[in-house]
Amino acid sequence: MQGETRVNIYKATKILQAKVGSGAVEKEKVEVCQKQIDENQTDFGPMAKEFLDELTRAVTFARAGKEDLQSLRQHVTQPVMQLKANGAMFGYTLIGDLANIMLNFLETVSRIDDDIIAIVEAHQKTLAAIVNNQMKGDGGATGKMMKDELVGACKRYMEKRHAKGNS
């Protein structure tokens, strides 16, 4: 049926350009805006709490057997991504680094078990500690230690799983 596969193209219009003209946004304006972001004094703590609470709920539900792997992924991913994205606006880059480790780990696991839940819980507590202690930037030596701990926990889990699979 040719009619079902037909594709119609609607020409692009320059309607927005006709309305606002062309050119650039002045560099100075962009710099002023970026300064607003970089120097904002808003307290990230209360905002982060909402997302940390979501993570806590996900862990509690998982422990109670109310989460399968897919829903755990979803309920962990959402607050972690929000913490990562919004944390970066407040200079909490360490949160982003830890979030990437956590999200990569959750992508690689194929079923939910107590060890996975324990790793997610450890991650939640680490994030809470970062926010509560206002540990901005990469967190220095402590930040590195936190990252190494989380990577180590994920690695140990994968090794244990492979050992079980091979036995």
Partner 1 sequence: MSTGNNNRQKKSYSLHQFTILIAEDFPFMADLLSSMLREFGVGRIIVAENGRDAISRLRSSNGDSGSREPIDLALIDWLMPKQNGMEVISWIRSHKRDSLRFLPTILISAYTSEAVVEAGRDNGFNEVLVKPVSAEKLAQRILYVIDNPRPFVKAPNFFGPDRRRKDLDYSGEERRVTQSEHIKVNHER
Regarding 64 and contact with partner 1 (CB under 8 A), the answer is: no
Q: How many of the other CB atoms lie within 10 Å of CB of 12?
A: 6
> Could you say whether residue 7 binds partner 1 (CB under 8 A)?
yes
- Scanning 40-48, 52-60, 114-122, 130-138 for contacts with partner 1 by CB under 8 A, the matching segment is 40-48
Q: What are phi and psi of 20, to 5 degrees?
A: -110, -5
Token look-up 């939910």 returns 112
Contacting partner 1 within 123-152 (CB under 8 A): none
**Does residue number 37 form part of the binding site for partner 1 (CB under 8 A)?**
yes
Which residues 66-125 are close enough to bind partner 1 by CB under 8 A? Answer: 77-78, 81-82, 84-86, 88-89
Residue 69 tokens read as 């792997």
User: Cβ distance 94 to 146 under 8 Å?
Assistant: yes
Distances (CA, A) of 159 to 19, 109, 113, 114, 117: 60, 12, 15, 15, 17
By CB under 8 A, name the one of 41, 42, 70, 167 that touches partner 1: 42
CA distances from 46 to 51, 115, 132, 141 (A): 9, 30, 10, 26
CA distance 82 to 149: 22
CB nearer to partner 1: give 89 or 158: 89
Nearer residue to partner 1 within complex by CB, 49 or 63: 49
84 vs 123 by CB, closer to partner 1: 84
Quick one: DSSP state of residue 111? S
Q: Residue 11 interacts with partner 1 (CB under 8 A)?
A: yes
Judged by beta carbon, residue 86 or residue 149, the one nearer partner 1 is: 86
Interface size with partner 1, residues (CB under 8 A): 43
Chain positions contacting partner 1, by CB under 8 A: 4-17, 19-27, 29-34, 36-37, 40, 42, 47, 77-78, 81-82, 84-86, 88-89
